[in-house]
Structure 1
Amino acid sequence: MAEEKELEMEDGGKKSKMMLIIIAAVVLIGGGVGAFFLLGGSDEPMPVANTEAGAAGAASSSAPAVSGAQLGSALYVAMPRPFVFNVPGQGRDRLVQIKVQLLVRGSENEETAKMHIPMIEGTLLRVFSSANADDLVTEAGKVALREQSVKEVRKVMQEIAGREVVEQVLFVGFVMQ
């Protein structure tokens, strides 16, 4: 009788080990497939939506890139802190947080941008705080805010450094509550 119980326990142990191996294999395969789809992408760029704002944004962003490519490689200057500010809205005021990076061309422009970060932060905060919450809810409003930011930062850097240091202002994080 003791031998029968021992045999039953051994068979049950083999079945549970086999189930664990099968479950582990399924999880690993599923994780591999998920990683492939998340990390593996096509080399083709995503199509831009066929809207006037998207077409205008695509046209304005590609023109400076062609002329700026001669200056040097693209470098990104991160703002040290995210911008947090209130914007008025029709229904209620909203709190907005924007994380920004600046696209510059060449190491000389990178150093100039880093040296003038306080001036750039002040300019961006002035532009951001003049926005309206109802506009920032839409994609077109965000694009308009980004374009206004680029325009103002270029203007300030032209006055300070004598050249357009910043090619693009990139929103790498945008949260509105």
Structure 2
Amino acid sequence: MADEELQVEEGAKKSKLPLIIIIVVVLIAGGGAAWFFLFSGGDEPVAEEVAGEGAEAADSASAAAAADGAANIGTALYVAMPRPFVFNVPGSGRDRLVQIKVQLMVRGSDNEETAKMHIPMIEGTLLQVFSSSNADDLVTEAGKVALREQAVTEVQKVMKDIAGTEVVEQVLFTGFVMQ
């Protein structure tokens, strides 16, 4: 009887041993994977929020109005793009995934309605401009400013062709994340 109990206990210990080994291996592999994903990035920041966009936009808007010689009529209104732009850009080290949230600054309710009516065309133009950029340029503030200025120029050109006026005064980045 004692031999039978001893054999039962050894059988129970033998069946638990592989389970314990599997659990330990899974925990080590999970910890290693978590460490790799959290700490394997380069020296450059993973996510950046663009700060000071509103002040720069106001300065450049007033400079543009003064340069034109005639002030734009109407109050500044903001048209939000319905969804953020998500796209891949090539970089020297690796390709990056970029997400940009955009709002358009327009003057007057007529331009606001025109911009809302042509959102698909504006989205297509912005995506074309954004996806032609380079990750190495987007890491710097100067690269982001150049991208924003190029976006304004292209959107104004498309809107002038479609609506007869530039409609959009500024393209504002309200969110900018690059991974």
Partner of 1:116: 118
Structure 1 residue 65: Cα displacement: 3.9
Number of equivalent positions = 124
Partner of 1:135: 137
Partner of 1:160: 162
> TM-score, length-normalised on structure 1?
0.65
**AA partner of residue 144 (structure 2):** K
RMSD between superposed Cα atoms in Å: 2.2
Would the aligned equivalents of 1:150 and 1:168 in 2 still touch at CA under 8 Å?
yes
Structure 1 counterpart SS, 2:102: strand
Structure 1 runs, 4 residues or longer, greater than 2 Å off: 57-70
Structure 1 counterpart SS, 2:172: strand
Structure 1 counterpart SS, 2:99: strand
Structure 1 counterpart SS, 2:123: helix
Structure 2 counterpart SS, 1:146: helix
Structure 2 counterpart SS, 1:134: helix
Q: For the structure 1 residues 134 and 58, does the alpha-carbon distance in structure 2 shift closer, same or farther, using more than 3 Å as the test?
A: farther
Structure 1 residue 154: Cα displacement: 0.1
| Separation in 2, partners of 1:109, 1:61 | 16
Partner of 1:63: 63
Structure 1 residue 94: Cα displacement: 0.1
Would the aligned equivalents of 2:73 and 2:108 in 1 still touch at CA under 8 Å?
yes
Structure 1 residue 71: Cα displacement: 1.4
Partner of 1:79: 81
Would the aligned equivalents of 1:75 and 1:103 in 2 still touch at CA under 8 Å?
yes
Structure 1 residue 62: Cα displacement: 2.8
Structure 2 counterpart SS, 1:156: helix
CA distances 1:83-126 after superposition (whole Å, capped 9, x unpaired): 00000000000000000000000000000000000000000000
| Separation in 2, partners of 1:172, 1:59 | 17
5+ residue gaps, structure 1: 1-44, 49-53
> TM-score, length-normalised on structure 2?
0.64
Query: Could you tell me which of 95, 100, 103 is aligned with 2:102?
Result: 100
Q: For the structure 1 residues 114 and 148, does the alpha-carbon distance in structure 2 shift closer, same or farther, using more than 3 Å as the test?
A: same
**AA partner of residue 123 (structure 2):** E
| Separation in 1, partners of 2:105, 2:78 | 5
Q: Matched residues, percent identical?
A: 80
Would the aligned equivalents of 1:69 and 1:105 in 2 still touch at CA under 8 Å?
no
Structure 1 residue 60: Cα displacement: 4.5
Structure 1 counterpart SS, 2:91: coil
